[in-house]
Amino acid sequence: MPLDNNIIAHWKKSEFLLIGGSAGSFKLIFNIVKNFNTDLDKAVIIIIHRKKNFFSEIEKLFAENSRISLKEIRDKEVIHKNTIYIAPANYHTLIEKNGSFGLDVSEAIWYSKPSIDVTFESAAEAFKGRCTAILLSGANQDGAQGLLKLRDNGCLTIAQTPEEAEMPQMPLAAIEIKAAEYILNSEEIFGLLQQ
């Protein structure tokens, strides 16, 4: 699917980029992070499923390879442009209307904490149409409902091409309920984010 002017315009005016990924999404997210330029002018919020008690080196690895500042989200942290935020393990990340993060330790959703749905749904309310959201590879249905809510609120919503995803279930679930306005492969996603 070639990138039309519509998608490019919507991406360009987005102030926030949300990325949700689970099994099979790590490499892709890593490359996305690596390719951001310092003139991005948006806040990036990344939710990756991961296990508690395993001190993954995600933040360190990402930070070392990113040209823009990257941090793990802390409670009540104010969201700034040109910063990449990573959702911490064993918490849900919510977004307050005043543009700060809130955390929550309530029940896992789809066996996941962080849950992509929780962040996407609260972002839909807090940001309305001001964001772009991408749902990548994963082995469950987390993120689909949240992506739908984002779409209903006028956000640009994208699912990774299921045929290309290592684990197609997550993008498929989103496509099934018509939550994704666009279905793009990783090359197209890179292309868009470079615009």
Indicate whether 153 belongs to the interface with another protein (CB under 8 A). yes
Cβ atoms of 143 and 130 closer than 8 Å:
no
Indicate whether 129 belongs to the interface with another protein (CB under 8 A). yes
In sequence order, what E strands does 13-96 have?
16-21, 43-48, 69-72, 83-86, 92-95
Q: Is 92 marked active-site?
A: no
Tokens of 105: 């330790």
Indicate whether 125 belongs to the interface with another protein (CB under 8 A). yes
CB nearer to another protein: give 53 or 194: 53
Cβ atoms of 180 and 174 closer than 8 Å:
yes
Q: Which of 32, 48, 116, 118 binds another protein (CB under 8 A)?
A: 118
Q: Which of 75, 163, 176, 187 binds another protein (CB under 8 A)?
A: 75
Indicate whether 41 belongs to the interface with another protein (CB under 8 A). no
The 8-class DSSP code of residue 65 comes to T
Burial 24-50 (b: 16+ CB within 10 A, else e): bbbebbeebbeebeeebebbbbbbbbb
Q: Is 22 marked active-site?
A: yes
CB nearer to another protein: give 40 or 94: 94
Q: Which of 12, 76, 80, 178 binds another protein (CB under 8 A)?
A: 76
Phi, then psi, of 165 in degrees rounded to 5: -70, 140
Q: Which of 61, 94, 139, 183 binds another protein (CB under 8 A)?
A: 94
Q: Which of 12, 27, 34, 74 binds another protein (CB under 8 A)?
A: 74
Residue 157 CA to residue 20 CA, distance in Å, equals 11
Q: Which residues contact 12 (CB under 8 A, 6 or more apart)?
A: 195
Interface size with another protein, residues (CB under 8 A): 31
**Residue whose pair of structure tokens reads 């395993």 in the numeric block:** 54
Q: Which of 16, 62, 85, 91 binds another protein (CB under 8 A)?
A: 91
Indicate whether 4 belongs to the interface with another protein (CB under 8 A). no
Q: For binding to another protein (CB under 8 A), which residues are involved?
A: 53, 72-76, 88, 90-91, 94-97, 102-107, 118, 121-122, 124-126, 128-129, 149, 152-154
Which residues are known to be catalytic?
A: 22, 49, 142
